[in-house]
C-alpha cells in the first residue's frame, strides 16, 4: 500500500523539475465543458500545479474541486477574467502550445531548466497577441490535434510519467492491477 504522505511517485527525469502551470484561453462554457474538463484532468494527472481558466466557468471549477477532494492533491481550476494579465505577470517562462510553433524536441532542453513554466493553450480561435506575448511558441507535432494531448505530452516530457501513489489528502487511491479494478478508501472511520 502507498503511504499516503509522499505524493505521486514519478519516473525520475532530472534532479530539478520545473513547477508547471496551465492557462486555457478562449474556453466556451456552453460548448466546451467536457473538453476543458479533460484538459483540467490531464493537467492535474500529469503534474501541473493548477490551471487558469479564461473565461471563468464556476461549474467546471467546482467539479474539479470535488474530484480533487476525493483523489487528493492541491490542483485547482482558477478563474481568470483577463488572460493577458496572467501571461504578463507570470514569474517564469510562458510556453504557448501551438502546432505552428517550434518543435518541442528543440525547445525542451531550454524550458526544462526553468524554475516555473506556464503552458498556454487556446481554443478554436487563438488571440494573435498570444504569439507575441509568449516566451516560446512550441509545436507538439505540427499536425492538427488536441490541446489535451499537447498539454499531457509536454508535461510528461518535462516531469516524467506519473506513477502510482497517494496524493496528500486523498480519500481514495488506485492500486494498479493486471486485471480489473482496485480502489482503496483511505481513513474511513466507523
Residues making contact with a copy of itself (CB under 8 A): 8, 11, 31-32, 34-35, 38-39, 41-42, 44-46, 67, 71, 98-105, 128, 131-132, 136-137, 139-146, 148-149, 151-153, 156-157, 161-165, 167, 173-174, 176-183
Q: Which three cell numbers stand for residue 67?
A: 474530484
Q: How far is the CB of 7 from a copy of itself (least distance, A)?
A: 12
For a copy of itself, give the closer residue by CB, 67 or 186.
Answer: 67
Q: How far is the CB of 73 from a copy of itself (least distance, A)?
A: 8
Whether the Cβ atoms of residue 182 and residue 175 lie closer than 8 Å to each other: yes
Q: How far is the CB of 189 from a copy of itself (least distance, A)?
A: 24
Q: How far is the CB of 129 from a copy of itself (least distance, A)?
A: 11
Q: Report the alpha-carbon angle 21-86-151, nearest 5.
A: 30
For a copy of itself, give the closer residue by CB, 100 or 171.
Answer: 100
Ramachandran bin of 93, using left for φ above 0, alpha for ψ from -120 to 50, beta for the remaining angles? beta
Pairwise CA distance, residues 132 & 148, whole Å: 23
For a copy of itself, give the closer residue by CB, 176 or 187.
Answer: 176
Whether the Cβ atoms of residue 156 and residue 5 lie closer than 8 Å to each other: no
Q: What number of other Cβ atoms are within 10 A of residue 183's Cβ?
A: 8
Pairwise CA distance, residues 101 & 136, whole Å: 8
For a copy of itself, give the closer residue by CB, 12 or 190.
Answer: 12
Q: How far is the CB of 157 from a copy of itself (least distance, A)?
A: 8
Amino acid at each position: 500500500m502507498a503511504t499516503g504522505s509522499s505524493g505521486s511517485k514519478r519516473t525520475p527525469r532530472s534532479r530539478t523539475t520545473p513547477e508547471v502551470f496551465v492557462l486555457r484561453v478562449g474556453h466556451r462554457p456552453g460548448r466546451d465543458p467536457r473538453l476543458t474538463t479533460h484538459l483540467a484532468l490531464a493537467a492535474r494527472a500529469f503534474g501541473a500545479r493548477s490551471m487558469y481558466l479564461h473565461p471563468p466557468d464556476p461549474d467546471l471549477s467546482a467539479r474539479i474541486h470535488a474530484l480533487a477532494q476525493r483523489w487528493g492533491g492541491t490542483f485547482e481550476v482558477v478563474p481568470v477574467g483577463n488572460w493577458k494579465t496572467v501571461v504578463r505577470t507570470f514569474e517564469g517562462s510562458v510556453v504557448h502550445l501551438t502546432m505552428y510553433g517550434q518543435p518541442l524536441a528543440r525547445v525542451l532542453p531550454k524550458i526544462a531548466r526553468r524554475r516555473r513554466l506556464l503552458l498556454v493553450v487556446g481554443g478554436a480561435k487563438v488571440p494573435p497577441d498570444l504569439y507575441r506575448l509568449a516566451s516560446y511558441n512550441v509545436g507538439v507535432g505540427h499536425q492538427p490535434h488536441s490541446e489535451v494531448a499537447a498539454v499531457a505530452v509536454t508535461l510528461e516530457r518535462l516531469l516524467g510519467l506519473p506513477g502510482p501513489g497517494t496524493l496528500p489528502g486523498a480519500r481514495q487511491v488506485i492500486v494498479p492491477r493486471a486485471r480489473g479494478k482496485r480502489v482503496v478508501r483511505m481513513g474511513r472511520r466507523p
